[in-house]
Amino acid sequence: MTVSVRPMWDALLKPRTVAVLGVSPTHETLGNHFLRGLLAFGYPGSIYPIHPTAREFEGLKTYESVRDTPSAVDYAYVALPSTAVREALNTKPNHVHFAQVVASGFGETADGQALEEELLRQARRTGTRILGPNCLGTYSPRGHLTFLNNVSSDTGCIGIMSQSGGLTIDIIRQGAALGLSFSAVVSLGNSIDVEPSDLLQCYLSDDATRVIGIYLEDVKDGQRFYRTLRDARGSKPIVLLVGGQTRWGQKAAQSHTGALATSSRVWHGLARQTGTLLVETFDEFLAALVGFQYWKPHMAKVTRRVALVGNGGGTSVLMADYLARRGLIVAPFGSETMVSLTAIQLPPGSSIANPVDLPAGTFRLNEGRIVGQVLKTILTKERLDAILLHVNAAAIGEFTQQSDQIIEQAMQSASNAVQLNDAHFGVVYRTSEGDRSSQDRSVENYPVFREMSQAGNALFSIAQYERFLEWVLEFRR
């Protein structure tokens, strides 16, 4: 262990020095790609390309081995074949803090088991913490560290760990399209050394990380993982997606219980015990993260009453059913509210009960600002926990010139109307052609979902979390 005032995880999230193992001056390698990406991302520290013979690479001085670098290495990106990894990382103690090993062919194969054990034994001796193997890399905007091109350099609040490399790319790309902004994304692969529990502790203590997203396929130290979550007592929302649940069976159990205590029941139990938000699909995973990024959980009440406003009656009715199955109520408004809404004199075809249906012809009134007016009226009379604005852009485009501007104004006026209210506010923006991911949504302070179900899942997750917080407060656990 290194004795230093610098927190251990800084070497990963804000590395001062990065070594790249597996660069080649003659042909294209993963190492080359990583190093160029690092330069393009504006990494400010020292980069040490490692190559046995080349003198320089991309204008940087190369070193024959990672042992020869002038300073200790905070982060080593190791893009070497599995058989070459151990020898390449055989350094004096505390020379390499974190080594991210990309190659597969370790413990997941029969031949690789010995390689894995040797690598781990050596890492314990040298004090190097291994990330992976069988992973892609680490994205840490605050450290200008990345393994993908064209990623945001803004430090966000979402901390991600994933045992699938491919999924980390989906999380970063699809997440960005939904407005997610990351404090860090770490691909953990087989997690032979740095385990999910370690990174969980890192994110729990990291000030930049407000929300944690975890994709797991296996957790070797399940009891520690459980205790870490339990001790956190819901201090940060944690969204958990577990792959391969159906694969784990109880072997050699002869009691009834053995057949009943299935893996999915155990994960569900863990979620209930710790306030972790266990989701079933990738889409739910992203939706929940989006909700937690934009919405502040209510401390003294659990989200339950929802207002739906938008164009597209059928979609709203289906959505009301969807929410009801998750314990969220789209309840009819009170009579006072109805009187006030009637006074606005919306055109025929509009419906002012909850859900509020504003067909395209209504939606375009006041260049779309009618939406804000309706919401403001509702909020003076109703106590609501959440408000969803549903925009079917295609339908508005069919009947309206300059529909983009109208929609923009509608969303803006709605967001203004809900500003002083603590209800969770989100927009569901549906369109048949393209999507709005190309637009810069970072200026908006509310989430924009692509489907009603995403918004519903986000609300469901935050309601579950609020219920857990209430529980923690009630019992002061």
Please provide residue 235's backbone torsions phi and psi, each rounded to the nearest 5 degrees: -60, -30
445 is a site residue for another protein (CB under 8 A): no
**Which segment (138-146, 261-269, 418-426, 445-453) binds another protein by CB under 8 A?**
261-269
CB of 471 to another protein, least distance (A): 7
Closest to another protein by CB, 136 or 242 = 242
Closest to another protein by CB, 81 or 258 = 258
Closest to another protein by CB, 55 or 477 = 477
**What is the 8-class DSSP label of residue 385?**
S
The residue within the footprint of another protein, chosen from 226, 333, 429, 446 (CB under 8 A), is 226
Cα 35 to Cα 133: distance, rounded to the nearest angstrom: 19
252 is a site residue for another protein (CB under 8 A): yes
The residue within the footprint of another protein, chosen from 117, 170, 221, 451 (CB under 8 A), is 221
Closest to another protein by CB, 252 or 443 = 252
Output the six-digit token pair for 201: 């502790």
476 is a site residue for another protein (CB under 8 A): no
Closest to another protein by CB, 55 or 256 = 256
Output the six-digit token pair for 257: 């219980």
**Which segment (53-61, 77-85, 218-226, 425-433) binds another protein by CB under 8 A?**
218-226
The SS3 call for residue 200 is: helix
The residue within the footprint of another protein, chosen from 96, 219, 323, 352 (CB under 8 A), is 219
Quickly tell me which residue has 């967001």 as its tokens: 415
Total residue length of the chain? 477
246 is a site residue for another protein (CB under 8 A): no
The residue within the footprint of another protein, chosen from 272, 296, 326, 383 (CB under 8 A), is 272
228 is a site residue for another protein (CB under 8 A): no
Q: Which residues lie across from 190 on neighbouring strands?
A: none
Contact 357, 310 (CB under 8 A): yes
Question: How many residues bind another protein, per CB under 8 A?
Answer: 29
CB of 223 to another protein, least distance (A): 5
CB of 437 to another protein, least distance (A): 38
For 207, other C-beta atoms within 10 Å of its C-beta total 7
β-strands 356-357, 277-279 pairing: unpaired
Cα 213 to Cα 277: distance, rounded to the nearest angstrom: 9
CB of 262 to another protein, least distance (A): 8
Name the E strands within 62-171: 73-78, 96-101, 129-131, 138-139, 158-162
**Residue 464 class from Cβ within 10 Å (0-12 exposed, 13-18 middle, 19+ buried)?**
buried
**Which segment (217-225, 289-297, 327-335, 381-389) binds another protein by CB under 8 A?**
217-225
Quickly tell me which residue has 């075809």 as its tokens: 349
Residues 453-472: x where in contact with another protein by CB under 8 A, - otherwise, as a string: ------------------x-
273 is a site residue for another protein (CB under 8 A): yes
CB of 93 to another protein, least distance (A): 32
Work out whether the CA dihedral 264, 270, 271, 276 comes out positive or negative: negative
- Minimal CA–CA distance to 187: which of 223, 149, 214? 214
Residue 259 CB contacts under 8 Å (≥ 6 apart), including other chains: 250, 253
Cα 275 to Cα 272: distance, rounded to the nearest angstrom: 6
**Which segment (134-142, 251-259, 376-384, 394-402) binds another protein by CB under 8 A?**
251-259
CB of 424 to another protein, least distance (A): 25
Q: Which residues lie across from 159 on neighbouring strands?
A: 184, 212
269 is a site residue for another protein (CB under 8 A): yes
250 is a site residue for another protein (CB under 8 A): yes
The residue within the footprint of another protein, chosen from 220, 296, 326, 383 (CB under 8 A), is 220
Cα 445 to Cα 16: distance, rounded to the nearest angstrom: 33
327 is a site residue for another protein (CB under 8 A): no
The residue within the footprint of another protein, chosen from 92, 121, 125, 265 (CB under 8 A), is 265
475 is a site residue for another protein (CB under 8 A): yes
Cα 73 to Cα 69: distance, rounded to the nearest angstrom: 8
326 is a site residue for another protein (CB under 8 A): no
Closest to another protein by CB, 7 or 249 = 249
Q: Which residues bind another protein (CB under 8 A)?
A: 218-223, 226, 250, 252-262, 265-266, 268-270, 272-273, 471, 475, 477
